[in-house]
Amino acid sequence: MARRPVSAASGVDERLLAEATRLFAKRGFDRTSVQDIVEAAGVTKGAMYHYFGSKDDLLHEIYGRVLREQTARLEKFAASEAPAPRRLKAAAADVVITTIENMDDVKIFGQSMHLLAPGKQRAVRAERRKYHEQFRALIEEGQRDGDFRTDVPADLVVDYFFGSVHHLGVWYRRNGKLSPGQVAEHYADLLLTSLNDKETAE
Amino acid sequence: MARRPVSAASGVDERLLAEATRLFAKRGFDRTSVQDIVEAAGVTKGAMYHYFGSKDDLLHEIYGRVLREQTARLEKFAASEAPAPRRLKAAAADVVITTIENMDDVKIFGQSMHLLAPGKQRAVRAERRKYHEQFRALIEEGQRDGDFRTDVPADLVVDYFFGSVHHLGVWYRRNGKLSPGQVAEHYADLLLTSLNDKETAE
Amino acid sequence: MARRPVSAASGVDERLLAEATRLFAKRGFDRTSVQDIVEAAGVTKGAMYHYFGSKDDLLHEIYGRVLREQTARLEKFAASEAPAPRRLKAAAADVVITTIENMDDVKIFGQSMHLLAPGKQRAVRAERRKYHEQFRALIEEGQRDGDFRTDVPADLVVDYFFGSVHHLGVWYRRNGKLSPGQVAEHYADLLLTSLNDKETAE
Amino acid sequence: MARRPVSAASGVDERLLAEATRLFAKRGFDRTSVQDIVEAAGVTKGAMYHYFGSKDDLLHEIYGRVLREQTARLEKFAASEAPAPRRLKAAAADVVITTIENMDDVKIFGQSMHLLAPGKQRAVRAERRKYHEQFRALIEEGQRDGDFRTDVPADLVVDYFFGSVHHLGVWYRRNGKLSPGQVAEHYADLLLTSLNDKETAE
DNA sequence: TATGAATGAGAATTCATTCAT
DNA sequence: AATGAATGAATTCTCATTCAT
């Protein structure tokens, strides 16, 4: 029932995905009608149902892309030779930057994931969990190396940090006084500092 | 046009608000019909429209309550005699606990605020900004006193922390391995630690 | 079921009638809610239902007033001593002026009479017929006296003229270039001229 | 937003328009529900909203047709070679006949135009003004030629006459004693006579 | 690959009226 | 004489999806 894009190059599906992303972020999933999307993409409803099995499919596909890309980026940072704290900081800063650069995707995550059909929701959650686990592994590595405090659970820290990151969509304004790079630096710094060993610190 | 409950004791409006909160959190605002709400509350649609001008009004009223309560709590903590870091930590831990205890409200905030009519959305945002500012004032006080680092903007820290707090609704499970108190302690600790002055610390 | 105003002096019923007239003319009967009327009059719904049995009653009462007044005026003109053409012309001019002065009533007649309950509609029609008949009698008198042509049925002329009069509500603007008196003079003149005997005229 | 019938031949839109006309004339616009219309036309509500953007659109389209047809007819009469009075009389008689033959349309005009959305109302008024202006031009031509009196403004005469014409919907009964042709002859005659030059006449 | 007509279920909201007080 | 809470039926309109072409 859920047909997949036949080819990534056909253009029509790309346009549909792009417009859907924009509209979902702007008005919310339920407030965006299939009609709105196809009009914005300049195609007909029939065409959309040719490429995507349903409106839900569209949302699911948007999530899929974002997660695939994020995971790929994180893997690059995690694989470097540097010590854990340095790798973690770089990865954290990077995730902030990419989040800001793909704000629409992030907004959709926060506002619409709960609207996905249960099955697809589970799939997305599982994917995201894998992503979080890679991040957690970095923290745990730092804890084992004695670089990070151990009195706070690594996965709680991950949730703590990603909460902040997702929240960027709520407060960050492109034309505000902080550049994406500055926010990334502050966020990564706050994360690293909060992992400082207290014994050492005092 | 938007009629308000005349008295908090009439019962019908209370019941409507309670059921609406529960359902909005569970299914999302757009997926919850007025029919669902009135059925759950055991009243007729007409009665609902007697007390609330619209479905939006219901959501707005829910936000209003939460914000009024949160602001009241924060004021208590901010007013104590203790030094800023202690007051901040207590307030931070408290906000985590109350967030967990009122998870439905918090979920609704994250998922549905963008669905409010623009005017009401502005009103809620303004109210929340006032709340954030009280929090920021505490951090700035600590910075002035030399207790906190000053190389990170206080309002960025506030957004960083409240991002984490709102995210609780996404990951925290009541029957998980961490009690609300433990999460609160960790969160407040991470916040305070991340504000440690580096010069002093290293 | 249909309670009548207890007293014409109580004030509340007067206010209700006045506001209802204004609103019915402005938005139409069906688009004006009982709520709108009572709010404009500064009373509650209960009060309105105390004085008037229904929304229909309100409309019916408005018609009643207009017709009573119009009939009274016409009787005065018809009863004078002057020859029929002069009396007709005076009556015609007067009906134009009063129509302009009570534009709201006239608009309501044109737009909402068909919305009355059938029984009440019949009653109003009967009343209006009586009014038209007085007018027709004037014309017939002129025809018998040899002042008016006889090759056109008097009642057709009455309908012809009152069509024009009711239409004033559609086109006449108070601040236009013609004063009510000028319009009245033209209308009465057109009526009288159109009744000129052709044989004599040519 | 307001989709228009793609083709006049599809049938469904024709049927909707015909039934809507019949029902609006009989019960009034506000008292006719979309449900009533689609049931009478034997289609579903969805189908109706496929062809017409709203109930208002339906009404607007009805007006559009009538005006287009009327204008076309008038142009034919105005273009003939005869002297102005003869052309005016023919046009006036024709408008009476077509009005009687399309009584439903005319009733709707009188009773429901004020219910149209302001924008559409303006559009219809503008169209009708153009129609009136053609009529007025005929009268002015007769005035210039010395065939008609000049002491009464031509546009007042137009409103005077069309008031009578619209009023036909209120009083004319098909099975009454006057045929449409007879009424048309009387009306046109009254109009022409009322334009007679008094000097000449007396 | 694409169209666009058609469906049918459900959405929020309005409203005249009643009635206990 | 007046209130205001409550009803319940009706109303317009939206929308994801299907299907013959």
Instruction: Using an 8 Å CB-CB cutoff, list chain B residues near A168.
Output: 163
Q: Do B178 and A28 touch (CB under 8 A)?
A: no
What number is the average pLDDT over the span D169-180?
93
Q: Is residue B26 predicted with pLDDT exceeding 60?
A: yes
Q: What is the pLDDT confidence band of residue C202, given thresholds at 50, 70 and 90?
A: very low
Highest mean pLDDT among C1-5, C132-136, D79-83, D155-159: D155-159
Distance from first CA to last CA of chain B, Å, rounded? 61
Judged by C1' against the alpha carbon of C55, the nearest nucleotide is E16
Q: Is residue A78 predicted with pLDDT exceeding 90?
A: no
Residue from B194, B198, B200 to probe the interface with A (highest A Cβ count within 10 Å): B194
Judged by C1' against the alpha carbon of C47, the nearest nucleotide is F2
Element counts in chain B: helices (H) and strands (E)? 10, 0
User: Residue D56's closest CA among D1, D133, D136?
Assistant: D1
Q: Is residue A7 predicted with pLDDT exceeding 50?
A: no
Q: What is the pLDDT of residue C3?
A: 42
Q: For residues B34 and B45, is the Cβ–Cβ distance under 8 A?
A: yes
Question: Which CATH code, of 1.20.200.10, 2.30.110.10, 1.10.10.60, 3.90.550.10, is assigned to D1-53?
Answer: 1.10.10.60
Q: What is the pLDDT confidence band of residue C120, given thresholds at 50, 70 and 90?
A: confident
D29 vs B199, residue with greater confidence: D29
A172 vs A109, residue with greater confidence: A172
What number is the average pLDDT over the span D92-116?
92
Q: From the CA of D125, how many Å to the nearest CA of chain C?
A: 11
Residues from C contacting D (CB-CB < 8 Å) are 28, 30-31, 110-111, 114-115, 149, 152-153, 156-157, 159-168, 170-171, 178, 183, 186-187, 189-191, 193-196, 198, 201-202
Superfamily of domain B61-201: Tetracycline Repressor, domain 2 (1.10.357.10)
Joined together, the tokens standing for residue A197 give 């060993």
Mean pLDDT lowest for which of A98-102, A116-120, C3-7? C3-7
A2 vs B156, residue with greater confidence: B156
Q: Domain A64-201 carries which CATH code?
A: 1.10.357.10
Percent of chain B surpassing pLDDT 90: 76
Q: Is residue B5 predicted with pLDDT exceeding 50?
A: no
The conformation of residue A202, written as its DSSP 8-state character, comes to: -
Q: What is the pLDDT confidence band of residue D8, given thresholds at 50, 70 and 90?
A: very low
Q: Is residue A2 predicted with pLDDT exceeding 80?
A: no
Q: Is B23 exposed, middle or buried (0-12, 13-18, 19+ CB in 10 A)?
A: buried
Q: From the CA of B129, how many Å to the nearest CA of chain A?
A: 11
Residue B158's CB: how many other CB atoms inside 10 A? 21
Q: What is the pLDDT of residue B12?
A: 87
B3 vs A135, residue with greater confidence: A135
Q: Is residue D134 predicted with pLDDT exceeding 50?
A: yes
Q: Is residue A154 predicted with pLDDT exceeding 60?
A: yes
Q: What is the pLDDT of residue B100?
A: 96
Q: From the CA of A172, how many Å to the nearest CA of chain B?
A: 9
For residue C162, what is the nearest residue in chain D, using CA coordinates?
D164
**Hey, what long-range contacts does D51-57 have (CB within 8 A, 24 or more apart)?**
D51/D3, D51/D5, D51/D10, D51/D12, D51/D13, D51/D16, D52/D2, D52/D3, D52/D5, D52/D13, D52/D16, D53/D1, D53/D2, D53/D3, D54/D2, D55/D29, D56/D116, D56/D117, D56/D120, D57/D2
CA distance A59 to A109: 10
Q: From the CA of A7, how many Å to the nearest CA of chain B?
A: 33
Q: For residues B184 and B96, is the Cβ–Cβ distance under 8 A?
A: yes
Token pair 């992503």 is at which residue? Answer: A131
Q: Is residue C5 predicted with pLDDT exceeding 80?
A: no
Q: Is residue C201 predicted with pLDDT exceeding 60?
A: no
Judged by C1' against the alpha carbon of C49, the nearest nucleotide is E17
Superfamily of domain C65-201: Tetracycline Repressor, domain 2 (1.10.357.10)
Q: What is the pLDDT of residue D29?
A: 93
CA distance B37 to A17: 34
Q: What is the pLDDT confidence band of residue A3, given thresholds at 50, 70 and 90?
A: very low
pLDDT digits (tens, 9 = 90+) for B113-171: 889 888 888 999 999 999 999 999 999 999 999 999 999 999 999 999 999 999 999 99
Residue C146, sorted as left (phi over 0), alpha (psi -120 to 50) or beta, turns out to be left
What number is the average pLDDT over the span B81-108?
95
pLDDT digits (tens, 9 = 90+) for C160-191: 999 999 999 999 999 999 999 999 999 999 99
Joined together, the tokens standing for residue A145 give 């190396």
Instruction: Using an 8 Å CB-CB cutoff, list chain B residues near A118.
Output: none
CA distance C200 to C198: 5
- Residues in chain B, total: 202
Joined together, the tokens standing for residue B117 give 């009519």
CA distance A160 to C111: 66
Instruction: Using an 8 Å CB-CB cutoff, list chain C residues near D111.
Output: 110-111, 114
**Hey, what long-range contacts does C78-82 have (CB within 8 A, 24 or more apart)?**
C78/C134, C78/C137, C78/C138
For residue B96, what is the nearest residue in chain A, using CA coordinates?
A160
Percent of chain C surpassing pLDDT 70: 93
Joined together, the tokens standing for residue C123 give 């009653």
Residue from C129, C151, C177, C194 to probe the interface with D (highest D Cβ count within 10 Å): C194
Q: What is the pLDDT of residue B2?
A: 36
Q: Domain D58-201 carries which CATH code?
A: 1.10.357.10
CA distance C199 to C183: 28
Q: What is the pLDDT of residue A9?
A: 44
Domain spans of chain D? 1-53, 58-201
Q: What is the pLDDT of residue C44?
A: 92
Mean pLDDT lowest for which of B58-67, C56-65, D10-19, D188-197? D10-19
Q: What is the pLDDT confidence band of residue A202, given thresholds at 50, 70 and 90?
A: very low
pLDDT digits (tens, 9 = 90+) for C70-117: 888 988 988 889 999 999 999 999 999 999 999 999 889 888 888 888
Q: List the nucleotides on chain F closer than 7 A to a protein CB.
A: 1-20
- Residues in chain C, total: 202
pLDDT digits (tens, 9 = 90+) for C61-70: 999 888 888 8
**Protein residues bordering strand F (Cβ below 7 A):** A 31-35, 45-46, 49, 54-56; B 6, 10, 12, 43-47, 49-51; C 6, 10, 12, 43-47, 49-51; D 32-35, 45-46, 49, 53-56
